[in-house]
Amino acid sequence: MKSTIPTDNGCGIDKEVKKKIFEPFFTTKPVGKGIGLGLSISCNLIKELGGNIEVESEPGKGSTFRIILPIDSVKPEIPA
């Protein structure tokens, strides 16, 4: 397994919002400023690859996303 851990020092995510962030079309942005698909698509891709994504966050303390992917189960296809 290989993991990557993007972090930020932004405003953080409260517990109620954190429960929903991977749902399609969920956004905290104003109407017209986001469609709420980025984290949902990312989560689905990671899971399709046999991995997992986790988030740790507290309001006022930023967020850490842990992305864990298997490194030996994905073999690139080489065109003939």
Contacts within 8 Å (CB) and 24+ apart, 23-31: none
DSSP letter (8 states) at residue 30: P
Q: Which mean pLDDT values do the consecutive 10-residue runs of the chain (80 residues) have?
A: 88 94 94 93 95 94 94 70
What is the dotted CATH code of the domain comprising 2-69?
3.30.565.10
Helix (H, G, I), strand (E, B) or coil at 43: helix
Task: State the pTM of this model.
Answer: 0.77
Q: Give me the residues paired with residue 33 across strands.
A: none
Q: Give me the residues paired with residue 7 across strands.
A: 64
Backbone angles phi, psi at 16, to 5 degrees: -65, -40
Q: What residue spans define the domains of the chain?
A: 2-69
